[in-house]
Amino acid sequence: MRHAQLREGDILARRYILRQPLGAGGMSVVWRAWDSTLERTVAVKVLDGPIASDGGQRDRIKREARAAARIEHPNAIGVYDYGETVTPRGRIAAYVVMQLLDGASLAARLEGGPLPWPEAVAVAATVADVLHAAHRRGVVHRDVTPENVMLTTDGVRLLDFGIAADIGQREEAMTFGTPPYVAPERLVGAPASGATDVYALGVLLFEMLTGAPPYPAGTWEELERALAAERRPALTVPGLPAGVASVCLRSLSRDPSRRPTAAEAATILGAGTSAPLARRRAWLAVPVVVALAAVLAVLLLRDDDPVQPPGGNAAPAPSVSILVSFVPAPTDGPGATSPAGGRPSSRPSTQPSGGPGASPAVSGSQTPQAAGKAVLDIVDRRAQTGEIRSDVALDIRNQVNNLLSGGADLARRVDELRHNLSDRTRDHAISDAAYQELDAAVVNFGRALTA
């Protein structure tokens, strides 16, 4: 980017240490950064250019932060901070600090073609629920596109409220957004309403089901011509529930009053995914049943061993060790219960654990990549069972990935990671059992990095 004012290692507001750029668009750059106050990895979107010629971008970044902060929903991007500061090169920079997500965009997922309909409907149901939460707070997103939907390790997230508007706000002289997802009424300057987001939701669902938007267009002129042709999109997907197809096509109606609300769409789409999810849970339960049967069989065989006479010198019966592995069933949201039991009351030790709870993948002879992967595997497994809070799991993943990318002071950074684990355990964000296993794996990771 021309006139870029920020570099790796720069510090914003005496707090956010910029690590690496993640993407750029317009006059802003999104950085992976370290929040030295709260000791966590974050994303920082910075207006990276002269303020005098930003064309109102500073106000838009501020509106984006305020709009996203108003949304109270676990699947909306989390906004932590907004500010304006002087950069190390003496210019003013506006920035917004957001949750750093671990995953890929829906746009990247769609490069491989349409999604299986249960997956497409589940993604759309989540996006619809976030839009419902936004509309309740008077916010219209206005840019619901595959690029702004993230498929993360913690579920679907709706991003980028950069062109959000208040309900009733008039369209600017220039229309913002991505043409195929822009509702027809926005082209004629109609005030912002929840119906415009629902239209984009319909386009998004149609594209996930078929592989292409109903009215492909690269420019506003192409979109106007496509809409003027009055061609009704057809939706024929084998197995797709009729109610889901209906809500998708209703969302694409030219008349905003004929579209469902985001709340209605979320309810119908959520009901459309319940049966496949139930079947998925049933299949996930099969390995557990098989494993339990294997354990019972071994126990029955051991019951047939002859009883040793008192004081006998016979060799002891050989012990049998069984490794049971299964995939935990997915949870369905904040109301789901965790299979993890209560946390031990004892305070965790800061020393590495070599006890029976340690990961079998921990080994002193691993490469840094293998040792790092062992840590990440533990994080993923323990996060799935609720023993590591999702935001803390993301922070740990980011710290491990930063260590794998190399750099100076590896031993010190590993020590910082261990202190972070200890602090998060005291905060009850990590269970004691998960901490013991993780700390042992991180110690091994540190040895591999510094060998």
d(C-alpha 51, C-alpha 53), whole Å: 5
Backbone angles phi, psi at 93, to 5 degrees: -130, 130
Residue 166: count of CB within 10 angstroms of its CB: 14
Q: Which residue has the tokens 């049998």?
A: 320
Between the CA of residue 192 and those of 141, 185, 198, 333, 347, what are the distances in Å?
Answer: 9, 9, 12, 30, 53
Which residues is 82 bridged to in the sheet?
96
User: DSSP character for 70?
Assistant: H
Cβ-based burial of 255 (10 A; exposed 0-12, middle 13-18, buried ≥19):
exposed
Backbone angles phi, psi at 33, to 5 degrees: -140, 165
User: DSSP character for 173?
Assistant: S
d(C-alpha 368, C-alpha 77), whole Å: 32
By annotation, the residues acting in catalysis are 143
Backbone angles phi, psi at 35, to 5 degrees: -85, 105
Cα atoms found within 13 Å of the Cα of residue 417, Cβ hemisphere only: 31
Q: At what angle do helices 194-210 and 117-136 cross, to 10 degrees?
A: 170
